[in-house]
């Protein structure tokens, strides 16, 4: 009987901790970046595989989240991990092949339209430039997203 109770307790702990670990793992997908002379620089090679790469930047105690993705047309695109409609839910976007999907409402956006279309549930565009082998985003451009976070 003691062995059964021990087994049951272990099963309950694993059932509880497993989903919690997966849930917490979702938040660890954001790589922290810092500004140097007011600019965040991310190597193009780090974000050129067609997958969304998620970052976080702290500004005045506010954690601003954004992603970079190289779309199928070869352009590295940037957007806040939020939109004008669903940002209150703080769920952001996930990737499904060439689409970014709102984790709150399920709307799908082709990655080639990021930075081109704004408003509604589209990922909120984030100004970026390519300088040599780096994607550069100014801290002031990142600060424009504070209202989402």
Per-residue three-class SS string for 87-100: HHHCCCEEEECCEE
Work out the pLDDT band at 25, boundaries 50, 70, 90.
very low
Q: Is 9 exposed, middle or buried (0-12, 13-18, 19+ CB in 10 A)?
A: exposed
What is the pLDDT at residue 145?
97
Distance CA 85, CA 50 (A): 26
The mean of the pLDDT values for the chain is: 87
Give the single-character DSSP code of 109. E
What is the pLDDT at residue 23?
45
pTM value > 0.85: no
Question: Is the pLDDT at 32 greater than 80, yes or no?
Answer: yes
Q: Please name every residue paired with 53 in a beta bridge, in sequence order, or none if there are none.
A: 68
What is the pLDDT at residue 56?
98
Beta carbons of 54 and 40 less than 8 angstroms apart: no
**Residue labelled with tokens 């954004």:** 66
Work out the pLDDT band at 8, boundaries 50, 70, 90.
very low
Task: Report the pLDDT averaged over residues 94-104.
Answer: 97
Please give the C-alpha separations between residue 128 and each of 19, 27, 40, 74, 98, in angstroms, as whole numbers. 36, 24, 10, 15, 20
In the three-class reduction of DSSP (H, G, I as helix; E, B as strand; rest coil), residue 36 is classed as: strand
Distance CA 93, CA 107 (A): 10
What is the pLDDT at residue 28?
54
Question: Is the pLDDT at 29 greater than 80, yes or no?
Answer: yes
What is the pLDDT at residue 5?
52
Task: Report the pLDDT averaged over residues 53-79.
Answer: 97
């Amino acid at each position: 009987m003691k062995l059964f109770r021990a087994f049951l307790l272990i099963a309950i702990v694993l059932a509880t901790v497993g989903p919690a670990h997966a849930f917490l793992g979702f938040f660890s997908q954001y790589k922290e970046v810092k500004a140097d002379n007011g600019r965040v620089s991310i190597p193009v090679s780090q974000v050129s595989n067609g997958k969304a790469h998620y970052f976080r930047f702290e500004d005045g105690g506010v954690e601003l989240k954004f992603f970079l993705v190289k779309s199928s047309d070869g352009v590295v695109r940037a957007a806040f991990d939020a939109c004008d409609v669903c940002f209150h839910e703080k769920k952001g976007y996930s990737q499904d092949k060439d689409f970014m999907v709102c984790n709150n409402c399920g709307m799908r956006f082709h990655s080639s339209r990021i930075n081109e279309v704004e408003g509604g549930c589209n990922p909120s565009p984030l100004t970026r430039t390519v300088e040599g082998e780096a994607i550069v985003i100014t801290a002031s451009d990142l600060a424009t997203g504070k209202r989402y976070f």
